[in-house]
Amino acid sequence: MDSESVSIELPGAGVRPWDQLLRDVRELEMRFDMLIAQYMQFVQPTSPKSASATPQPAVSSGPLRTSEGRQGCAQLENEIKSVLGDLDAVIKEMVETVQLQRGSSRVLERHRGLYNDYLREFQRYQSNVQNALARSDLIGDANTSSTAAVDVGDRDRLVVERGRIDQAHTDIDMVLDQAFSVRQDLSEQRAFISGATSRMVDVTERIPGVNLLLGRIRSRKRKEKVILAIVISVCISILFFVIS
């Protein structure tokens, strides 16, 4: 079974940046899509003959009838379990990041929902594989050779559709990331303005002479206004006296 390795930096010392967590979770989701598409080749539910009939898992025409195929299936299961474990670890780290108000809770909920869907999907296919293996052991190679093969066309269409959905999710993540960045910038600007105001208040408090000087200037201006008002009143009184 050919497989590609994905290098994911799992949580260690401290919380990693939100952008790095998003890249890791997307890589793991793409890795899971590729592995589950390979895993689907081993078993596929057969179409029921009637509306009341229950679909039965059908063993793929080749892989599960050989020991090499069964070993490949088991190896693929272990790889999927490893990817799901890594994905769960990254999502837990995303939870910590959101709690520190460094990430988007909506993005976290979407990826956590995808993880739960992946887990249920893998468990469903794993159960079908186990049932198919048990059924194959009971009825023998003669009967298993006549079972239905996997509908490759339908599987490919499902993989393509999932790729489109993942691309749409990626676009949504980009928009949410941009909105989150704008919010961070606004918060930083507000903190900068608050800091500048606090520094100005500190300066006036540390230099008492500045407040004293400002107070004297305001007092002198008030005196000048009073004197000017008295002079104007006297001039107006003299003007009325001369006219009368």
Tell me the C-alpha distance between 132 and 42, whole Å: 9
User: Which pLDDT belongs to residue 70?
Assistant: 76
pLDDT at 13: 43
State which of 24-33, 38-47, 144-153, 179-188 shows the largest mean pLDDT: 24-33
Q: Which residue has the higher pLDDT, 35 or 2?
A: 35
High-pLDDT (> 90) share of the chain, % = 7
What was the pLDDT predicted at 153? 56
For the segment 1-17, the average pLDDT, to the nearest whole number, is 53
- Interatomic CA distance for residues 23 and 18, integer angstroms: 9
Q: What is the pLDDT of residues 63-75, one digit of tens each?
A: 666 667 777 788 8
Nearest-angstrom CA–CA distance, 44 and 59: 7
Residue 50 clears pLDDT 70, i.e. is over it: no
Per-residue pLDDT tens over the stretch 120-146: 888 888 888 887 777 766 665 444 444
Long-range contacts of 141-150 (CB under 8 A, 24+ apart): 141/65, 144/59, 144/65, 145/61, 145/65, 147/46, 147/58, 147/59, 147/61, 148/44, 148/46, 148/47, 148/58, 149/44, 149/58, 149/60, 149/61, 150/40, 150/41, 150/43, 150/44, 150/58, 150/60, 150/61
Buried b (16+ CB within 10 A) or exposed e, 163-191: eeeeeebeeebeebbeebeeeeeeeeeee
Q: Please report the beta strands in the chain, taking only residues with DSSP state E, as ranges in sequence order.
A: 43-45, 57-59
- pLDDT 10s digits, 222-239: 888 999 999 999 999 888
Give the residue-averaged pLDDT of 85-107. 86
pTM of the model: 0.48
Given a cut of 70, whether residue 4 has pLDDT beyond it is: no
pLDDT tens digit string along 151-200?
445 666 677 677 778 777 777 877 877 787 788 788 888 888 888 888 77
151: helix, strand or coil:
coil
Cα gap 98→101, rounded to integer Å: 5
Task: Please report which confidence band the pLDDT of residue 86 belongs to, taking 50, 70 and 90 as the band edges.
Answer: very high
